[in-house]
């Protein structure tokens, strides 16, 4: 099965996690990190979840009304009956749902994620090889150093400056590709952000002079 890749904005939105164990903890941490309003429903909670601030804990078994107004649902229980009911209720309500380790009961999968500043790379094997996804993520940690995040921070204002010029679309695209190239990353690695910013400024000046 091929999944359509998408980044879901859950900031300030209700996200319901069914289950209170270690797997649920990982899902909760990821949702909290993205700003979700997390509700966890379980008759028991692992110590980390029990002590976690900023989430709503409902200490009982799942009930259908728990999904009201949810933007996303994750079921991470060891109860086959509960997982099946969550899947049926969520799909009937049109709510994106993921039942952990049951791809046939998922309308979305949760990929392994590599983050470097605002750079995010999702690695998915369609649920078939989570260990391989983790291996790829660790390799990315070696290949993509902190200079990539530093370059992105420099490119944010540069992109706004480039868009305000009278360069054509093709010229702007070519310039932004050049600004994202390896030679700029090399300056960041070896000399730091100030020389890299100076190089970006010169590249913009040159592009404007040649238009």
- 117 belongs to a structural domain: no
Residues 13 and 74 in one domain: yes
pLDDT, residue 103, reads 85
Closest among 206, 211, 170, 10 to 98, alpha carbons compared: 10
Distances (CA, A) of 113 to 45, 110, 116, 175: 25, 9, 10, 29
Residues 12 and 96 in one domain: yes
Residues 18 and 94 in one domain: yes
Instruction: Determine the 3-state secondary structure of 204 from DSSP.
Output: helix
Domain end among 110, 138, 160: 110
pLDDT, residue 130, reads 77
The whole-number average pLDDT for the span 63-80 is 95
Domain end among 86, 110, 134: 110
- 126 belongs to a structural domain: no
Distances (CA, A) of 211 to 162, 165, 166: 13, 10, 9
Tell me which H or E stretch contains 196. helix 193-209
The band of 199, judged by pLDDT with boundaries at 50, 70 and 90, is: very high
- 200 belongs to a structural domain: yes
Strand 37-41 versus strand 56-58 pairing type: parallel
Q: Is the pLDDT of residue 75 over 80?
A: yes
Residues 4 and 78 in one domain: yes
- Residue 203: which domain range? 146-209
pLDDT per residue as tens digits for the range 36-70: 999 999 999 999 999 999 999 999 999 989 999 99
Task: Quote the number of domains for the chain.
Answer: 2
**7's tokens:** 């980044």
- 122 belongs to a structural domain: no
Q: Quote the CA–CA distance of 170 and 159 in Å, as a whole number.
A: 14
């Amino acid at each position: 099965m091929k999944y359509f890749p998408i980044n879901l904005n859950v900031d300030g939105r209700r996200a319901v996690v069914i289950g209170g164990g270690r797997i649920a903890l990982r899902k909760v941490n990821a949702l909290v990190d993205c700003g979700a309003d997390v509700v966890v429903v379980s008759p028991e909670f692992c110590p980390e979840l029990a002590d976690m601030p900023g989430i709503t804990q409902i200490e009982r078994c799942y009930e259908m009304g728990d999904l009201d107004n949810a933007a996303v649902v994750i079921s991470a229980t060891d109860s086959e009956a509960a997982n099946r009911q969550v899947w049926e209720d969520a799909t009937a309500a049109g709510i994106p749902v993921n039942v952990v380790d049951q791809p046939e009961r998922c309308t979305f999968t949760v990929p392994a994620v590599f983050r470097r500043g605002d750079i995010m790379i999702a690695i998915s094997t369609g649920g078939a090889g989570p260990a391989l996804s983790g291996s790829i993520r660790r390799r990315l940690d070696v290949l993509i150093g902190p200079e990539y995040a530093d370059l992105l921070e420099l490119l944010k204002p540069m992109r706004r400056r480039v868009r305000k010029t009278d360069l054509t679309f093709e010229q702007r695209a070519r310039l932004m590709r050049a600004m994202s190239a390896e030679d700029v990353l090399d300056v960041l690695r070896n000399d730091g952000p100030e020389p890299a910013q100076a190089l970006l400024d010169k590249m913009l000046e040159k592009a404007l002079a040649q238009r």
